[in-house]
Chains A and B, each alone.
Chain A
Amino acid sequence: MTISNPTAPSPSGLASANGHAKVQELESVTIRFCGDSGDGMQLAGTQFTNASAILGNDISTLPDFPAEIRAPAGTLAGVSGFQLHFSSHAIHTPGDTLNTLVAMNPAALKTNLKDLEPGGILIVNSDSFGTSDLQKAGYTSNPLDSEAMKNYRLIKVPINKLNREAVAECKLSPREADRCKNFFALGLVFWMYERPMEPTLKWIREKFAKNPAVLEANTRALKAGYNYGETMELLPVHYRVPKAKIPPGTYRKITGNEALAIGLVTATQLAKKELIYASYPITPATPILETLADLKRYGVKTLQAEDEIAAMGMAIGAAFGGAIGVTATSGPGVCLKSEAIGLAVMTELPCVIIDVQRGGPSTGLPTKTEQADLLQAMFGRNGECPVPIVAPRSPADCFHMVFEAVRIATRFMTPIFLLSDGYIANGAEPWSIPSLDSLPRIAIQHPTTPNSWANEPQHENGAGEPGKFLPYKRDEWLVRPWAVPGTPGLEHRIGGLEKQDVTGNVNYEPGNHEHMVRTRAKKIQNIAETIPDLKVHGPASGDLLVLGWGGTYGAILTAVERAQRKGWSVAHAHLQYLNPMPKNTEAVLRSYKQVLIPELNAGQLLWLIRAKYCVPAVGLNKIQGRPFLVSEIEAKIEAILTGAPDVEITTTPVVSDGPSQG
């Protein structure tokens, strides 16, 4: 163990003496675990997150892993990372720069060091810096000996050796023993940041209940790491991040995908409807299928379809049968589902299509985040084919917005898109567990009797007779009845051919077609009457509005708050409803001299806003498969308000002399 350059600046955050000479209190910390795909970094990061959440910190996470399950060990392509921001105050992003980096091998060091702040703590597994390890990462000399290390507080720990010693008595194979080293590293950082070990020990006990040797080994590795930190006094201080002052309540940690699954079950159960979820496995949406497949005792039916099209067809069939039909996918899957989504529009059946967006086009960047499917969701079908769109803004918000998706779909008899993204899906934050009483009950009614009467005025198409069921006779919102097969007397036929309004009979007349196209569009617009106004965070009018949607919420909010603290006249609004948009959207846009729209795409909401409202908004666009840094948005806000030259987000290669990470 060596600590170099102990005189480097201390980690950022507010240090305060608290009576204990060896403990330093920090307001917030950003830490990243990185190593080979097989090193268990996602697990270490998740466990550290759980411990921090249970301790009462606010948390925000950014898992970042390669598309390859096991790229060749030790290579740059195989590096997997997990970033956590934990804090004693409310936070909204996983952090811009790292205070601490744990790197399990040279490849991890090479791809992640650029994000570590000057003076930051760098923990490396010095046992994995042998000649061949260095070669695989493309190093010609050991970077730990380089001058650059003087910028950091480098802690070299022979983790392989120490871990093997710790688990020696457990009689594991060398390979099995080495698999515990992530827990050794975790134990070490638990000590550094005064995290409780018990939640992880409990997890180990449950996970390895059937394998006592592995249970014991992981327990020992974790404790050994912790004790090593304490005994060796790895740093002159260790750190404490006090509880966050967050609203009272009972909390748990939740990822976006978990919140979608739980939200779907809750919304459908409270609506007394069956949830039928059909999906084809696709990154990053698969965990929703896996979660729901294990919830059979909640009456959930899951179908792993043969392809994306089938999944959409099954959701539509389920909806025809009176259940809540849901499918989830990512961008490439939406392409395949498009024709069937059009069928749901034409037949006016309610179903929810979740698109967990990833980098595109084509297969693109399967494990990286992007917001580039907005226009696909908006327009990506043949014909005039309007589909409503909602978009959660954070992992926990997925719970609320999927409720909204179910409500809108069933109230307006329409398929609906919920646009999540890889960042929200895999990222976690605390979720205030709601009481069931506080949640909405979505009221769904199916007709049981015919809806055509002798004493009512003849409808405009003249068809239909008293006592008959008219499948396209609409209510005050232009919504048709949801009559379910099995109901006597309501037998009817629907399909993808153009319908005569009211009767639903196949009809090719020019006037009827235009009427139906406009009716379907008006029906979707009517949704705006039932959604909340766009809220503004900041002054109700002023110099600049920063408008966002989806998973950029936290970064935009933090950047705007910083600009506000500097005295700038800037406000933030975030669209959770993208089609239709809230009724006050135009009024909000026109209350500011300028509008900035940051997006993780080439400017899709920007395109919509300009086209719809003729507002000269400008974009801040990042298309790197990674979320915004707060500083990037902050810089753009300042550039706009000071009239400085335009700020562009530059792409810095991950490494200068090797392929960039997966």
Chain B
Amino acid sequence: MSATTLPTLTVKDLTTDQDVRWCPGCGDYSILAQMKKALASLGVPREKIVFVSGIGCSSRFPYYMNTYGFHTIHGRAPTIATGLKMAQPDLQVWVVTGDGDGLSIGGNHLLHVIRRNVDVKILLFNNEIYGLTKGQYSPTSRLGTRTKSSPQGSIDNPIRPLSVAIAAEATFVARTIDVDVNHMVTVLQRAAAHKGTAFVEIYQNCKIFNDGVFDYVTDKSIKSDNLLYLEHGKPLVYGKDRNKGIRLNGLDPEAVELGNGIAVDDLLHHNESAKEPSLAYLLSRMVHPEFPECVGVFRAVRKPTYEELVQEQIVKAIKAKGPGKIEDLFRSEDQWTVE
């Protein structure tokens, strides 16, 4: 390696000596593999990368990445990542969470890390089920989902992870799918390159407790009609024959077939850098079977990160009054001398 090239990592460099303990066939294996591929391509040295997770199947992730890692407590990974980034703004910090960890017990922290625009990359593995506790419904489980804790079907309205992230004005929002390996690598690379909070939802199949819940977007025979790949500046076209699209009808999206007076130009064009998050939100609300579900980058805008703003205030304060001296601090109140 010459002095001018970035250190390159291999997938092997990123692999730890710990046995991976997810169930056979779990979507997490694919995510782990794509993550290693994505990181190997980035040129960021291992010691600068940290994985922080909460609790759940997904949260075992850090043990399998030969970087720095912190397997924390249920739902709180965003808080620990925030503290870490305060101490070391230059680290590349990934938060790995799941639908239960991120949206149920840790929902509050998720909102706040996003609204602050802390420069962390959040991966939410959404399998619409509680796996580690052996199969109870989660905050993203669809209405009527029958589980051990909802034998008559779930009556809790599910929340859409991306809608939550966009409502909190995440500066980068994307979605990908565990088995769509090339797409995932691209999305992870984009997330890594983003400055600010990047929120990525990954549809992840739980082989044991919720197998096939995403078949409509993974089964080769049907997925083309149910999946829409977002591309910046391009019209929202989908379908096996690329003959379907999404247009706006007033404030509502509408799935239409091209032809019969409907041209490509009538369709909604994707703009990931739109200042207002309204359209991204609208896309996040499109749910199968009424609509195709979007994958790709929903939103990517640059705003000052929390770390930048913190540093800016410090610099300003020092500029205004000079660096603080402890003696001045001691004497910040009136004094008197006893002789």
Residue pair A495, B72 in contact (C-beta under 8 Å): yes
Residue pair B76, A340 in contact (C-beta under 8 Å): yes
Q: What 1/0 mask marks residues of chain A from 238 to 276 whose CB sits below 8 Å from any chain B CB? A: 000001001111111110000000100110011000101
Chain A min CB distance to B171 (Å): 18
Chain B min CB distance to A321 (Å): 3
Binds A, one of B134-142, B190-198, B309-317: B309-317
Assembled-state Cα–Cα distance A404/B47 (Å): 32
In the complex, chain A residues whose CB is within 8 Å of the CB of B331: 252, 433
In the complex, chain B residues whose CB is within 8 Å of the CB of A434: 330
Nearest residue in A to B51 (C-beta to C-beta)?
A493
Residue pair B333, A325 in contact (C-beta under 8 Å): no
* Interface residue from B16, B76, B310, B336 paired with A250 (Cβ < 8 Å): B336
Residue pair B71, A316 in contact (C-beta under 8 Å): no
Residue pair A317, B84 in contact (C-beta under 8 Å): yes
Residue pair A310, B79 in contact (C-beta under 8 Å): yes
* A298 interfacial by beta-carbon distance below 8 Å: yes
Residue pair B88, A321 in contact (C-beta under 8 Å): yes
Assembled-state Cα–Cα distance A617/B150 (Å): 55
In the complex, chain A residues whose CB is within 8 Å of the CB of B111: 306
Within 8 A of B (CB), among A481-514: 484-497, 505-506
In the complex, chain B residues whose CB is within 8 Å of the CB of A342: 73
* A318 interfacial by beta-carbon distance below 8 Å: yes
Assembled-state Cα–Cα distance A295/B16 (Å): 42
In the complex, chain A residues whose CB is within 8 Å of the CB of B90: 486
Residue pair A493, B71 in contact (C-beta under 8 Å): yes
Binds B, one of A50-58, A105-113, A209-217, A521-529: A50-58
Q: What 1/0 mask marks residues of chain B from 305 to 335 whose CB sits below 8 Å from any chain A CB? A: 0000010011011101111101101111111
Residue pair A297, B112 in contact (C-beta under 8 Å): no
Residue pair B329, A266 in contact (C-beta under 8 Å): yes
* A395 interfacial by beta-carbon distance below 8 Å: no
Residue pair B321, A310 in contact (C-beta under 8 Å): no
* Interface residue from A250, A301, A314 paired with B80 (Cβ < 8 Å): A314
In the complex, chain B residues whose CB is within 8 Å of the CB of A251: 335-338
Count A interface residues, CB 8 Å.
74
- Whether A54 contacts B334 in the complex (CB less than 8 A), given A262-B329, A485-B91, A486-B88, comes out as yes
Residue pair B68, A318 in contact (C-beta under 8 Å): no
* Interface residue from B70, B88, B314, B320 paired with A322 (Cβ < 8 Å): B88
* A305 interfacial by beta-carbon distance below 8 Å: yes
Assembled-state Cα–Cα distance A54/B322 (Å): 28
Residue pair A306, B108 in contact (C-beta under 8 Å): yes
* A470 interfacial by beta-carbon distance below 8 Å: no
In the complex, chain A residues whose CB is within 8 Å of the CB of B82: 303, 310, 313-314, 317
Assembled-state Cα–Cα distance A485/B82 (Å): 14
* Interface residue from B47, B80, B85, B334 paired with A313 (Cβ < 8 Å): B80
- Whether A262 contacts B330 in the complex (CB less than 8 A), given A299-B324, A317-B83, comes out as yes
Chain B min CB distance to A489 (Å): 7
In the complex, chain A residues whose CB is within 8 Å of the CB of B69: 492-495
Residue pair B76, A313 in contact (C-beta under 8 Å): yes
Nearest residue in B to A484 (C-beta to C-beta)?
B88
Assembled-state Cα–Cα distance A491/B47 (Å): 6
Count B interface residues, CB 8 Å.
62
In the complex, chain B residues whose CB is within 8 Å of the CB of A54: 334, 336
Nearest residue in B to A488 (C-beta to C-beta)?
B47
What is the count of residue pairs linking A and B with beta-carbon distances less than 8 angstroms? 214
* Interface residue from A250, A309, A494 paired with B337 (Cβ < 8 Å): A250
A53, A246, A253, A298, most chain B CB atoms within 10 A: A298
Residue pair B335, A433 in contact (C-beta under 8 Å): yes
Assembled-state Cα–Cα distance A347/B67 (Å): 17
* B238 interfacial by beta-carbon distance below 8 Å: no
Residue pair A252, B335 in contact (C-beta under 8 Å): yes
* Interface residue from B318, B324, B337 paired with A249 (Cβ < 8 Å): B337
* A296 interfacial by beta-carbon distance below 8 Å: yes
B55, B68, B318, most chain A CB atoms within 10 A: B68
Nearest residue in A to B55 (C-beta to C-beta)?
A496
* B48 interfacial by beta-carbon distance below 8 Å: yes
Assembled-state Cα–Cα distance A497/B55 (Å): 10
* B251 interfacial by beta-carbon distance below 8 Å: no
In the complex, chain A residues whose CB is within 8 Å of the CB of B85: 317, 321
In the complex, chain B residues whose CB is within 8 Å of the CB of A312: 79
* B50 interfacial by beta-carbon distance below 8 Å: yes
* Interface residue from B71, B78, B320, B337 paired with A495 (Cβ < 8 Å): B71
Assembled-state Cα–Cα distance A309/B74 (Å): 11
Residue pair A436, B335 in contact (C-beta under 8 Å): no
In the complex, chain A residues whose CB is within 8 Å of the CB of B79: 305, 309-314, 317
* A320 interfacial by beta-carbon distance below 8 Å: yes
* Interface residue from A269, A490, A494 paired with B326 (Cβ < 8 Å): A269
Chain B min CB distance to A49 (Å): 11
Assembled-state Cα–Cα distance A574/B79 (Å): 37
Residue pair B326, A436 in contact (C-beta under 8 Å): yes
Within 8 A of B (CB), among A427-466: 433-434, 436
* Interface residue from B83, B317, B318, B332 paired with A316 (Cβ < 8 Å): B83
* A334 interfacial by beta-carbon distance below 8 Å: no
Assembled-state Cα–Cα distance A397/B87 (Å): 29
Assembled-state Cα–Cα distance A313/B73 (Å): 9
* A343 interfacial by beta-carbon distance below 8 Å: yes
Chain B min CB distance to A209 (Å): 17
In the complex, chain A residues whose CB is within 8 Å of the CB of B63: 493, 495, 506
Chain A min CB distance to B142 (Å): 29
In the complex, chain A residues whose CB is within 8 Å of the CB of B324: 265, 295, 297-299
Chain B min CB distance to A352 (Å): 13
- Whether A343 contacts B91 in the complex (CB less than 8 A), given A262-B329, A491-B67, comes out as no
* B296 interfacial by beta-carbon distance below 8 Å: no
Assembled-state Cα–Cα distance A199/B320 (Å): 26
Residue pair B87, A276 in contact (C-beta under 8 Å): yes
Assembled-state Cα–Cα distance A325/B81 (Å): 13
* B5 interfacial by beta-carbon distance below 8 Å: no
* Interface residue from B46, B73, B329 paired with A496 (Cβ < 8 Å): B73
In the complex, chain A residues whose CB is within 8 Å of the CB of B316: 296
Residue pair A325, B326 in contact (C-beta under 8 Å): no
Residue pair B109, A317 in contact (C-beta under 8 Å): no
B18, B55, B70, B317, most chain A CB atoms within 10 A: B70
Assembled-state Cα–Cα distance A484/B68 (Å): 9
Residue pair B326, A323 in contact (C-beta under 8 Å): no
Nearest residue in B to A53 (C-beta to C-beta)?
B336
In the complex, chain B residues whose CB is within 8 Å of the CB of A289: none
Residue pair A323, B87 in contact (C-beta under 8 Å): yes
In the complex, chain A residues whose CB is within 8 Å of the CB of B47: 485-491
Chain B min CB distance to A283 (Å): 21
- Could you write out 25 A-B pairs with CB less than 8 Å apart? A50-B333, A53-B336, A249-B337, A252-B336, A297-B321, A301-B86, A310-B76, A311-B79, A313-B76, A315-B83, A316-B72, A317-B79, A317-B81, A318-B84, A319-B83, A320-B70, A320-B80, A340-B73, A343-B72, A436-B327, A484-B88, A485-B91, A488-B47, A489-B47, A495-B72
Sample of 20 more A-B contacts, CB < 8 Å, known A250-B338, A343-B72:
A54-B336, A55-B336, A56-B338, A248-B339, A251-B335, A253-B333, A297-B321, A305-B79, A310-B79, A310-B82, A313-B80, A485-B91, A486-B47, A486-B88, A494-B69, A495-B70, A496-B55, A496-B72, A497-B71, A506-B63
Residues of B with Cβ closer than 8 Å to A? 16, 18, 45-48, 50, 52, 55, 62-63, 65-73, 76, 78-88, 90-91, 108-109, 111-112, 310, 313-314, 316-318, 320-324, 326-327, 329-339
Residues of A with Cβ closer than 8 Å to B? 50, 53-56, 199, 243, 246-254, 262, 265-266, 269-270, 274, 276, 278, 295-299, 301, 303, 305-307, 309-323, 325, 339-340, 342-343, 347, 433-434, 436, 484-497, 505-506
